[in-house]
Amino acid sequence: MKIILLGAPGSGKGTVAKLLVEKFSIPQISTGDILRGAVSAGTDIGKKAKEYMAKGDLVPDEIIMGIMEERLQKEDCQNGFILDGFPRTIPQAESLKKLLAKLGINLDLVVNLEVPEEEIIKRLTSRRTCSNAKCQAIYNVISMPPKQDGICDKCGNPIVQREDETAEAIKYRLETYQEKTAPLINFYEQEGFLETVEALSSKVVFDKIVEKTGK
Ligand code: AMP
């Protein structure tokens, strides 16, 4: 299954992706996770991306497409993949279309996770992420706290509030989403792949995807 999860930051793409990974044994490809890994490893890409990310700005399309061109050709993508947080701009969606055609890959579904803005702000300000770049497990201090305060259940490293999840950065990321990413809803509607789901919970979205793909 080849699927794209579209939606504002905090709409639950990452959580839904993890449910899909478990069910279908295909990789979650999150450009945000890849970039945070690169920043923490201090690679060239990480050095270029760091400032954009800290402000909540999008990283330039050429950098993202370089990452994705390489990633989609890895062995583990042969049976499918879940794209989480990519594409995020119309030029990325157009480049992805060309790349998939070149690789002979057909998309199955683009799911648009719809969540009211107040709910998004509530979710993002209470979200915490494992500081271990290889783990990046997600928690929520209200609805899904770790068993031990401040410590990741999975790997034992500290969980932190991301630099781009302060109230100011969140506001900016949501504006960026409206301006640059929301137009993709129309793009994929015209391409005939779009399914919009009221993303009240990750389980609702997951069930809808399973129903739609008939798997
Ligand atoms: P995320 O974890 O998906 O919210 O991404 C965190 C940050 O990484 C974003 O605010 C952007 O700065 C950057 N980023 C992630 N994916 C992309 C993308 N597809 N295009 C541009 N920037 C991205």
Structural domain includes residue 139: yes
Residue 197: phi, psi to the nearest 5? -125, 135
Mean pLDDT calculated for residue range 11-34: 95
Domain for residue 39, yes or no? Answer: no
| pLDDT of 23 above 90 | yes
Token representation of residue 51: 């400032």
Q: What is the pLDDT of residue 167?
A: 84
Give me the pLDDT at residue 120, please. Answer: 92
Task: Note the pLDDT of residue 163.
Answer: 84
**For the residues 15-39, what does the mean pLDDT come to?**
95
pLDDT score recorded for residue 169: 87
Secondary structure (DSSP) of 71-102: HTTSGGGTT-EEEES---SHHHHHHHHHHHHH
Say if 208 falls within a structural domain.
yes
Structural domain of 85: 2-26+79-213
| C-alpha 166, offset from chain centre | 18
Instruction: State pLDDT tens for residues 51-82.
Output: 999 888 999 999 999 999 999 999 999 999 99
127 is catalytic: yes
User: Measured from the CA of 85, which atom of ligand 1 is nearest?
Assistant: 3
Average pLDDT rounded to a whole number, residues 94-113 = 97
Whether residue 193 lies inside any domain: the answer is yes
Instruction: Answer yes or no: 162 catalytic.
Output: yes
Is 46 touching ligand 1 by the criterion CB < 6 Å? no
CATH number of the domain bearing residue 86: 3.40.50.300
pLDDT, average across residues 129-153: 94
pLDDT confidence of residue 215: 64
Residue 47 scores a pLDDT above 90: yes
The yes-or-no verdict on residue 122 having pLDDT over 80 is yes
Name the residue with the closest Cα to ligand 1, atom 19: 86
Assess whether 88 carries a catalytic annotation: yes
The answer as to whether 116 is a domain residue is yes
pLDDT band for position 180 (cuts 50, 70, 90): very high
Mean pLDDT (whole number) for 120-145: 92
- pLDDT for the residue numbered 54: 87
Let me know if residue 96 belongs to a domain: yes
Tell whether the model's pLDDT for residue 188 goes beyond 80.
yes
- Structural domain tally of the chain? 1
Cα–Cα dist 25/18, whole Å: 10
Say what the pLDDT of residue 128 is.
Answer: 94
CA gyration radius, the chain: 16
Cβ of residue 52 lying under 6 Å from some atom of ligand 1: yes
